[in-house]
Structure 1
Amino acid sequence: MREMTAEKNHRSVEVSVVIPVFNEEDNIEPLVDELQTVLDKVGKSYEILLIDDCSSDDSFPVMKKLRQTRPFLRILRHRVNAGQSAGQATGFTYASGEIIITMDADQQNDPADIPALLDSLKGEVAAVCGIRRKRMDSLVKRYSSKIANAYRNFITGDSITDAGCTYRAIRRNALGELPVFNGMHRFLPTLLRLQGYQVVEIPVNHRPRTRGYTKYGIGNRLWRGILDCFAMRWLRKRAVPGNRVERESQS
């Protein structure tokens, strides 16, 4: 069970941006500044949630300093390091927006793509997932990601182009029954489809990391990812639709 310190927000907003953070002290302020510029132009009320996953650098002090001059910023902090999936799950719990945007804290996701993500969230679409075009990572990471995507699709029976891209826009009402587990963030599109929701993909920009270092590699996710794929295959046969209520009955 993850523990955290946080404050509840009762302010109603249209868009919540959820960003798990672990040791990204140099990326937080420029990312928040970029997001503010883009979101101000979108024309929707918004909040930005920074979920500190028990960082050991100065990420948390940086967040607190930014909070003093940015009323749209909310800070949540895990008391134990719980991982990226837990960070997203915490954001889903505390976010107030009807639409939730998830992204990484390393500045490789481009805030300029937010309008396109929101524009694609139309009709019955419950989630829009990014596909990183011209991915700015090492050759090893790019090829291992292609192999991992092909493998997960083969095992799960799904078709997700870039499961490792966590840049997404999701309707809040689609997240109510989402199972939370370590690795959930990589399978979120598949989980939503298993519950009967419509998921689409669009190309998004991908930028090189210029500050800090990556926390995830082949060694710390290979075997866990393989096991998770078989868990998804089992869940495919057992999943209960999440949008099963046609309408509220009147009495």
Structure 2
Amino acid sequence: MLKTPEKPAHSLAELNHENGKSKPPDLSIVLPIYNEAESLSSLFDQLLPVLDGMQCDYEIIAVNDGSRDNSLHVLQEIASRNTHIRIIDFRRNFGQTAALMAGFDHAEGDVIVTLDADLQNDPSDIPLLVSKINEGYDVVSGWRSDRKDARLTRNLPSRIANTLISRISGVKLNDYGCTLKAYRRDVMTGVRLYGEMHRFIPIYASWMGARVVEVPVKHHPRKFGYSKYGLNRIFKVVLDLIVVKFLQSYLVKPIYVFGGFGLSTIAAAFITLTLAIGLKFFAGTSLIQTPLPLLSAMLVLIGCISILMGLLAEMVMRTYFEAHGRHPYAVREHMSGPPSA
């Protein structure tokens, strides 16, 4: 059972599952690491006492994302003194999303907490996130309400992006970019992340009916190194958001977007052809003197291709769900009445 400084409404032991083998840990900490050698010793000096104070079975999964500095050596030295630490070493740098995905894939705890290794997230906030999980939430997202980053190059673009993401996705969060988050393990089952999609995990979880909450957390100025993100991240977020919105609206019905566009294009083609014919009879303009007939033919062709793409997308979607044994729905729990006498 996880214990937090404040008594939770429900014991996290209720989340434990029996698999006939050794009992899995209650809590998994996932640390994506890239060139953070100077921060690691201080990070674990803060993190380990917090986890020990929670008096729970825990594991720490440190994912070395192809660091070029001494991060791996420092991790190995720390892990040699603590059996709770597991290291995953990438062959090269694959990015934060891939590092988090590897952590999720290898985590065994019923609750998974992610945080950065640059000392800007505060490990002392972990019990707060776990306590909200105990209250019945599925995803607890940290909110750096007093963010200690550059106002113009980091904070302002982040606020704009967060507002945009919240309005488009319908999941209202003040800080999508904060890595400090807690998840129930079953919420992450089947979730696959690509590109820079890690910041959208609360959206994916919300689609599946997860209860999402946001809590203010502490944030510290960076002590070592430099931020791995720049202003170019804004463009990546916009493109990723387009993908997220498309998946949210049309994952199980792609024909609606492709077919809708195709039908609209064909309708525009008939309007264009009608205009060309009108010019022919009422203005005396020959069909060969205007590009409208050619434009109409092109629009019909584009519309037919779009509809065919929609049909192919429907086939791919059905193949995906059937090949992976997935369903277009998510069940929170099964309930039934009392057994018959």
User: Please, what TM-score do these two structures have when normalized by structure 1?
Assistant: 0.90
Note the 1:10-49 alignment, pairs <5 A: 12-49=24-61
Partner residue of 2:78 out of 66, 78, 84:
66
Q: After the TM superposition, which residues 219-230 of structure 1 pair with which residues of structure 2 at under 5 Å, given as runs?
A: 219=232, 221-230=233-242
Over 6 Å off, 4+ runs: none
- The structure that is strand-richer by fraction is 1
Match of 2:224 in 1: 211
Say whether residues 1:144 and 2:232 are aligned partners: no
Cα distance in 1, alignment partners of residues 200 and 227 from structure 2 = 20
Q: What letter corresponds to residue 87 of structure 2 in structure 1?
A: I
Partner of 2:5: none
| Correspondence for 1:118 | 130
Q: Indicate the structure with greater helix content.
A: 2
- 3-state DSSP of counterpart to 1:120: helix
Residue 172 of structure 1 corresponds to which residue in structure 2?
A: 185
CA contact (8 A) 1:130 1:162 kept: yes
Equivalent runs, 1:54-203 vs 2, <5 Å = 54-140=66-152, 141-203=154-216
Structure 2 CA distance for aligned equivalents of residues 68 and 206 of structure 1: 29
Count of matched residue positions in the alignment of Structure 1 and Structure 2: 239
* % identical aligned pairs: 36
Higher relative contact order (CA 8 A, sep 6+): 1
SS at match of 1:26: helix
RMSD (Å), alpha carbons: 1.8
Cα deviation for residue 247 of structure 1 reads 5.8
In structure 1, distance between residues paired with 2:330 and 2:195: 21
Inter-CA distance 215–27: structure 2 relative to 1 (3 Å threshold): same
Match in the other structure for 1:50: 62
Instruction: Point out where structure 1 has 5 or more consecutive residues left out of the alignment.
Output: 1-9
- Structure 1 counterpart of 2:187, one-letter code: A
CA distance in 2, matches of 1:123, 1:65: 37
Distance 1:25 1:51 in 2: 13
Contact 1:27 1:107 in 2 (8 A): yes
d(CA) in 1 for partners of 2:229, 2:237 = 12
Instruction: Tell me which structure has the larger Cα radius of gyration.
Output: 2
Whole-angstrom distance in 1 between the partners of 2:94 and 2:23: 27
Paired AA for residue 165 in structure 1? C
d(CA) in 1 for partners of 2:330 and 2:126?
A: 26
Judge conservation of contact 1:127–1:189 (CA < 8 Å) in 2: yes
Deviations along 1:50-75, one digit per CA (max 9) or x if unpaired, are 10001111000111111111111110
Q: For the Cα contact (< 8 Å) 2:157–2:234, is it kept in 1?
A: no
Question: Does structure 2 retain, via aligned residues, the 8 Å contact 1:38–1:111?
Answer: yes
Counterpart Cα distance in 2 of 1:56 and 1:181: 23
1:234 maps onto 2:246 in alignment: yes
The answer for unaligned runs of 5 or more in structure 2 is 1-21, 253-327, 337-341
Distance 1:160 1:243 in 2: 25
Larger deviation: 176-185 or 165-174? 176-185
Partner of 2:17: none
